């Protein structure tokens, strides 16, 4: 076996039809070692990407074989004694997820910081993941929810339904080192949170999105958006994701940027950029370029400024026009703009 993309041994939840609702992978592996590859010989695996359900005995045999070649199995060894359904996911390549278990393994890779947003193929994940009731008794199939609620009531209990969604909250699966999350329901599994990241109560981080850290997030990081080191998102601000109007443009925020309260960004930002509070900057917005003497030298669409560093975007308090100031001279800025043609 020359190469493998990822391996995950997990425990999860099925509905009464035997369909997977969710899977927890305590130790997802990216580019697994030869020891783990050797252990695969004990399973029915043949080739390609496969989801293989295993019995407790089969899991024990798999882990024993991995240990023979030096693999560290202590974190997953207890899986062999569970009464819950067990699954082994083997990804030979980074193809789009074809099963619920494959999708969950890829989301785990992101939240465990093994890959960054856009570094693993999540195409079609919405069609793979089921919509699930996330409750105080775990994941429940929506068709079975009413009966489960009645069963709880008959025992004098209340079945708490936290949300109904395709994605669970990240902290029920992994809590990365060195982060603060004030409201855990606002960070989905598949978020990437770099060390030093603080997510305040109104902050939100979608799957396949996140922060390099450190940073303060009081706004919304939409799907596909990655925020650089030392950048802050003010209260109520928004980043435009590919699922919410960004189309094929991947929005990113560079290092040491500030997006003000209730502002928004619809273009990729370079480093050390600022968008003033209340200004939503879309790619089609007309922006007046202001030179060091305060004169407007050019008006361009904001998309022309994508990825450029050291820019301040603001609204003119008199005219309402969007302005962009830079610490570069007018000549240098014009050369940078014309280079995009």
**Torsion sign over Cα 178, 184, 186, 188:** positive
Strand partners, 288: 299, 323
Strand order of the sheet with strand 280-281? Answer: 204-205, 220-221, 238-239, 264-265, 280-281
Side-chain half-sphere exposure of 278, counting CA atoms within 13 A: 6
CB contact at 8 A, 309 and 294: no
Q: Could you identify the residue written with the tokens 């917005």?
A: 285
Of 224, 227, 274, residue with least CA distance to 249: 224
Angle value at C-alpha 193, between 189 and 199, nearest 5 degrees: 90
Q: Could you identify the residue written with the tokens 């004990």?
A: 42
**For this structure, is 19 an active site residue?**
no
- Please tell me which residue in 22, 218, 276, 323 is annotated as part of the active site: 218
Provide the annotated active-site residues. Answer: 218
């Amino acid at each position: 076996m020359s190469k493998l993309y990822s391996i995950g041994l997990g425990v999860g939840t099925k509905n009464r039809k035997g369909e997977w609702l969710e899977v927890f992978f305590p130790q997802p592996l990216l580019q697994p070692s030869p020891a783990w590859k050797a252990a695969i010989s004990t399973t029915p695996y043949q080739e390609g990407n496969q989801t293989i359900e295993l019995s407790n005995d089969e899991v024990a045999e798999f882990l024993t074989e991995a240990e023979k070649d030096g693999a560290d199995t202590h974190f997953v060894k207890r899986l062999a004694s569970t009464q819950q359904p067990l699954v082994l996911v083997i990804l030979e390549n980074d193809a789009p997820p074809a099963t619920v278990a494959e999708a969950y393994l890829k989301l785990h890779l992101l939240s465990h910081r093994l890959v960054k947003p856009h570094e693993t193929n999540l195409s079609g994940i919405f069609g793979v993941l089921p919509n699930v009731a996330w409750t105080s008794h775990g994941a429940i199939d929506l068709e079975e929810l009413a009966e489960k609620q009645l069963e709880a009531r008959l025992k004098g209990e209340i079945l708490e339904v936290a949300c109904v969604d395709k994605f669970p909250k990240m902290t029920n699966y992994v809590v990365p080192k060195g982060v603060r999350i004030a409201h855990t329901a606002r960070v989905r599994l598949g978020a990437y949170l770099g060390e030093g990241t603080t997510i305040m109560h109104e902050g939100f981080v979608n799957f396949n999105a996140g922060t390099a850290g450190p940073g303060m997030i009081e706004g919304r990081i939409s799907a596909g958006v990655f925020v650089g080191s030392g950048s802050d998102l003010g209260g109520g601000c928004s980043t435009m994701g590919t699922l919410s109007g960004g189309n094929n443009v991947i929005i990113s925020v560079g290092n040491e940027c500030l997006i003000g309260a209730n502002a928004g960004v619809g273009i990729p930002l370079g480093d050390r950029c600022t968008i003033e509070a209340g200004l939503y900057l879309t790619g089609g917005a007309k922006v007046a370029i202001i030179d060091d003497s305060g004169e407007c030298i050019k008006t361009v669409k904001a998309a022309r400024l994508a990825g450029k560093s050291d820019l301040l975007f603001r609204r003119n308090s008199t005219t309402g026009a969007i302005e962009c100031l830079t610490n570069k001279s007018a000549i240098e800025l014009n050369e940078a703009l014309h280079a995009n043609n």
